[in-house]
């Protein structure tokens, strides 16, 4: 099911159709065309579970498909930016380049971004467009921070006598690319099943906060990065998606809430606290949110 309500800046919930026809406030929170674009982006018309839906936690996808929920329009703006970038690329794919084609098999369906001669003379390059944060890029590129002893000590203050450290960046960490790799590799499989030869896979990641100091502190000094993606076993991918699809189908057929999403799928609970659109219908997320509110209240009382 699509989202049915918007959450106003005041916290009030209003049906999306009512919001678009007549705002209950003196002035809208954003332009009406922007709100219409947000509403259209939330109205998914694809019945079968897609590649991106199966990569997400089964509980998250189940709740999005079977329950109504509300969203803050502002939280969808980054998605709109991504859609705009996709549209710009699609409008400029002259020549032997395929773009935004949806392919499907007996398990799922997926819509790849670009395929063809998009980087050099190789006409078998599968490309994916990402609009992401410097934090996500830092993880994807294997950048991490370490504290290095300066050899000096504090000569006054609370830390007097303690050693001084400085923070340095390292660029040899493990690249956190699993979800992106799974997604792009399954698109590769769908293309190959359709008779195309995929020679390489590359992500073009645009950093949305590249101009901010925090990005520089994370080692992100460019606005665009090309990230090569390695091939994953077709056998492993097939079993992974078959398993996720089976769990989702069984949950929908029996109307049974699936188990809590994995730690990785929950982003260590960060997704549950503020990024999962279906969190209001998830008992686990609601417990986390309630616990956080209690802790915040206690901190305010003790301040």
Query: Does 303 have pLDDT greater than 60?
Result: no
Contacts of 181 (CB under 8 A, 6+ apart): 229, 230, 232
Residue 152 near residue 227, CB atoms below 8 Å: no
**Do 55 and 182 contact (CB within 8 A), yes or no?**
yes
279-287: long-range pairs with CB below 8 Å, 24+: 280/69, 280/70, 281/63, 281/67, 281/69, 282/59, 282/60, 282/63, 283/257, 284/59, 284/260
C-beta of residue 276 within 8 angstroms of C-beta of residue 60? yes
pLDDT value of position 42 = 85
State the pLDDT at residue 294: 67
What's the average model confidence in pLDDT over 40-53? 83
For residue 254, being part of any structural domain is answered with no
Mean pLDDT of 187-214: 96
- Cα(101)–Cα(191) distance, integer angstroms: 10
Look at residues 46, 79, 206, 199 and name the one whose alpha carbon lies nearest to residue 134: 206
Please state, for a pLDDT cut of 70, what percent of the chain lies above it: 95
Does the residue 30 lie in any domain? no
Residues 48-75, mean pLDDT to the nearest whole number? 93
**Tens digits of per-residue pLDDT, 119-162?**
999 999 999 999 999 999 999 999 999 999 999 999 999 999 99
Q: What pairing do the DSSP bridges indicate for beta strands 5-7 and 70-71?
A: parallel
How would you label 115-153 residue by residue, b for 16+ Cβ within 10 Å and e otherwise?
A: bbebeeeeeebbbbbbbbbbebbbbbbebbeeeeeeeee
Q: What is the mean pLDDT of residues 42-50?
A: 78
Q: Is residue 301 domain-resident?
A: no
Phi first, then psi: give them for residue 113, nearest 5 degrees. -85, -55
Q: Give me Rg for the CA atoms of the chain.
A: 22
- The mean per-residue pLDDT over the stretch 47-65 comes to 93
| Phi, psi angles (nearest 5°) of residue 170 | -120, 145
In terms of Cα–Cα distance, which of 9, 276, 8, 11 is closest to 19?
A: 8
- Mean of per-residue pLDDT scores for the chain: 92
Is 184 within a domain?
yes
Give yes or no for a contact between 86 and 41, defined as CB atoms under 8 angstroms apart.
no
pLDDT tens sequence across 86-114: 889 988 988 789 999 999 999 999 999 99
Please give the tally of structural domains in the chain: 1
Query: pLDDT grade, residue 297 (50/70/90)?
Result: low
Give a yes or no: residue 281 inside a domain. no
**Whole-number Cα distances in Å, 80 to 33, 34, 35:** 12, 9, 11
Q: Does any domain span residue 141?
A: yes
Report how far residue 21's alpha carbon sits from residue 16's, in angstroms, rounded to the nearest whole number: 9
Mean pLDDT within 216-238? 96
Shortest CA distance to 101 belongs to which of 85, 117, 90? 90
Is 192 within a domain?
Answer: yes
Tell me whether residue 252 is in a domain: no
Q: The domain containing residue 94 runs over which residues?
A: 82-237
């Amino acid at each position: 099911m699509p989202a049915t309500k918007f959450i106003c800046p005041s916290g009030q919930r209003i049906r999306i159709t009512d919001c678009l026809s007549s705002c209950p406030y003196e002035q809208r929170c954003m332009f009406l065309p922007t709100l219409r674009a947000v509403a259209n982006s939330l109205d998914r018309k694809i019945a079968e579970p897609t590649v991106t839906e199966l990569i997400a936690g089964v509980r998250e996808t189940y709740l999005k498909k079977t329950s109504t929920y509300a969203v803050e329009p502002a939280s969808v703006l980054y998605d709109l930016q991504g859609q705009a970038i996709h549209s710009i690329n699609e409008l400029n794919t002259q020549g032997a380049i395929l773009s935004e084609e949806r392919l499907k098999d007996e398990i799922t369906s997926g819509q790849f971004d670009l395929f063809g001669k998009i980087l050099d003379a190789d006409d078998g390059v599968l490309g994916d467009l990402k609009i992401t944060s410097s934090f996500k890029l830092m993880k994807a590129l294997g950048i991490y921070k370490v504290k290095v002893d300066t050899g000096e000590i504090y000569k006054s203050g609370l830390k007097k006598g303690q050693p001084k450290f400085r923070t340095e960046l390292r660029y040899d960490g493990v690249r956190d690319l699993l979800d992106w790799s799974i997604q792009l590799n399954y698109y590769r499989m769908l293309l190959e099943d359709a008779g195309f030869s995929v020679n390489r896979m590359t992500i073009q990641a645009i950093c949305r906060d590249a101009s901010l100091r925090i990005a520089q502190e994370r080692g992100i000094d460019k606005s665009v990065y090309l990230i090569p993606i390695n091939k994953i076993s077709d056998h492993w991918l097939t079993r992974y998606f078959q398993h996720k699809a089976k769990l989702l189908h069984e949950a929908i057929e029996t109307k049974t809430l699936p188990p809590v999403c994995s730690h990785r799928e929950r982003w260590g609970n960060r997704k549950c606290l503020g990024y999962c659109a279906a969190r209001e219908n998830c008992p686990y997320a609601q417990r986390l949110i309630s616990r956080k509110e209690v802790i915040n209240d206690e901190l305010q009382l003790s301040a």
